[in-house]
Each structure stands twice: as C-alpha cells, then as structure tokens.
Structure 1
Amino acid sequence: MTKLTLGSHPYIVGFEQLERLLERSAKAGNEGYPPFNIEQTSQSSYRITLAVAGFGERDLSITVEDRQLVIRGRQHDDGEDRVFLHRGIAARQFQRSFVLADGVEVGEATMENGLLHVDLTRAEPETVVQTIQIRKG
C-alpha cells in the first residue's frame, strides 16, 4: 500500500512546502514549558500568550527565523551567593517555536502580570482572477 501524502495527491499541486512546514513544526521540540494560549482576537489577528513568571524583559528574546516565531527565555542568576533552604521555583531556560503561515506578521509584544503577549496579524490576500490565453500549437 502506498502512503498518500499531501504532495503526492493528484489534485493538489505545489504544496510540498506545506508538507515540509508541517514536518518542521512537529520537530520543533516544544515541551510543556512554559504553558501558552493562542487566541483569535479578530478575523485576521491572533495573540500568543506565554506564562513567563519570574522572567523579565531582558531575559526574553523574540525572533522570526524562516517563517518561524521563536521565543526564548533565559534567566540570569544575579545572586550566586544566595543560600536556598528550598528551591521550588525553577530557573530554567526555554524555547518555544510557532510556525507562521505566509502573510502572518508579528506585531508588538507586551509583558503584563507575568504573561508575555505576542500579537500577530494576517494580511488578507487579494482575490486574483487570471485568464490564460490558449495559443495554437
């Protein structure tokens, strides 16, 4: 039995990139930390919210790399001479990746009450009708 993939379907042409995109998102290596929400805030906008309690703005970086939104966090331990009797708050680094569709742009990022909000907008594609002339061969 032949495995039917998106790129091998006879009526879908040119979607090999979408198939690679799906594979890449599956391999993004995201674990469960930090937890996040994705909400649709309008017909053409979204908001990703990450729970980043304990991280400051200087501990976080947000980049777009090859249509992939990458959010990294790394806490700087300011007090190496501190003595903890109990350390239950993890100071671990993280990386969260989100694959963006064509036309989705990253807007602003804000921090509020230990939550990092990243706003995204999607440009509405214009409808294009193209007539192809048939020439005699």
Structure 2
Amino acid sequence: MKLICLTLFLIIIVLFYWQFPVKYYSVVRENSKPLDPLLIMALIKVESNFRENAISPAGAIGLMQVMPRTADWMKEKFNLIDSNVNHPVDNIVLGTTYLKYLMQLYDENIDLALMAYNVGPSQLETRKTLAEKYLYRIKLYYKIYKVLYFWMG
C-alpha cells in the first residue's frame, strides 16, 4: 500500500512539473527584474500555456500575448526597434517591458498592473470582473510555481 501511495504521489508531482514548465526561464529572469521571474512564468502559463505561436481571438500574439499595436508602441517608446513580436524571446522582452511599464503607471501595484496587462489600461474599470478572474489565475499559478521551483524564485 505504501508503494502505491508513493507511486501515485510521484506521478502527481511529475504531472505538476509537466503542466508548469520553466521553458525560457533564463530569458524571463534576464528581462523581468525587479519582478519575480516565476510571476512571469505564471503569466505566460495563463496567457499562452507556453505556445509560442499562440494567437488570441483579439489578435494578441505569442507567449505573452502581446497585441501588435502595443508591440509597435513599445518598440518606439523603449527603443526595441528590432524586436519581432512573433519571435519567442522578443515576445518575452516586449511583454515583460510592458508589464514593468504598467507597474510604473499603477504606482507599483502588481495587481492593477496584471489586470491592465490582460484587459488594457483603458478597459480596466469596464472589464474589472474579467480582470479579477485573470488575476486570480495568475496568483494561483504563481503560488504553484513558487512551490515547484522554490529554489529558482
């Protein structure tokens, strides 16, 4: 019986690691400062489930689901001219830069910044319920990442 319980426990742990990957962690770590890279991993999990070529019905692109118009604006504002929103590494750079910009915009309030990342700053008040559900998922996945990868955070 103990062997069966141990086997089931190990299977569950492996499934969690499989469902919560750390692909691109080095790129995220390099570009996320001062934010916790594991928070960005949770954001990527929610936004695209790590599908590099993900395109939302609204037209958001890539791992971090960056809108093309936002990417164009970011390229100019932050001198990221050579960035390609379709390239996974560039998508992470654009997405993390945008989240850090939102952090400044919302006085370092990570909850507001994350909700604005999802619905857009101009839609935050009108789509608050949707944004709050998104924030809940990010926080849940962030907790899971912190448990699974406690040595990385």
Asked if Structure 1 and Structure 2 have the same fold, meaning a TM-score greater than 0.5 normalized by the shorter chain, the answer is no
Instruction: Give TM-score, length-normalised by structure 2.
Output: 0.28
Higher normalized helix content (fraction of residues): 2
Over alpha carbons, which structure has the higher Rg? 1
Instruction: Give TM-score, length-normalised by structure 1.
Output: 0.30
